[in-house]
Amino acid sequence: MTARLKQVQVGALGEETEGARRASAGSSPSAGAAVAVAPDPEVVEQARRRQFTAKYKLQVLAQAERCAPGEVGALLRREGLYSSHLTTWRRQREAGALAALTPRKRGRRAHVRDAQATRVAELECEVERLRQRLVQAETIIEVQKKVSLLLGVDPSPLATAGRP
């Protein structure tokens, strides 16, 4: 944010004129001098979202319904509202009366899981882990069969069962 200085001309009678020239050059030097006015050093509060209570919304809607066709704009200006507020509040009122007019919490909704859903998720993870182990075991068995064929050893279980 840049601060600009405002150049103000002070006239002969003490009134301020912005950017004006004097007609006579013979007046006193202080009468036509430019005075620099410093910007306001106060920090402006950050804007916040307005929240309206259900009671206030219902009051404004009741006033708007009692207004004549040209008076609604004056009501909105007086209250500092927009016509979209009235439209939204009317829809909310029709959808669920007073409960719909209460302000809702913004942001994502909390993710609530029950015990059964948690247990199902745990079991699904365990099933996936066991499937991976099964694939790994089958791969190892296939490799062992190929190695035994290369070495000429009989891979059948009956050949190993007859040995003491």
pTM attached to this predicted model? 0.37
pLDDT band at 160 (very low <50, low <70, confident <90, very high): low
Written as six digits, the tokens of 98 are: 């007073």
At residue 92's C-alpha, the angle toward residues 88 and 93, to 5°, is 115
Please answer whether residues 38 and 71 qualify as being in contact, where contact means their C-beta atoms are separated by less than 8 angstroms.
Answer: no
> Based on C-alpha coordinates, what's the Rg of the chain?
42
pLDDT tens-digit map of 55-109: 898 899 999 999 887 899 999 999 999 999 999 888 888 877 656 556 677 788 8
* Whole-number percent of the chain with pLDDT over 70: 68
pLDDT 10s digits, 2-58: 444 444 444 444 454 554 455 554 445 455 455 667 777 777 778 788 888 888 988
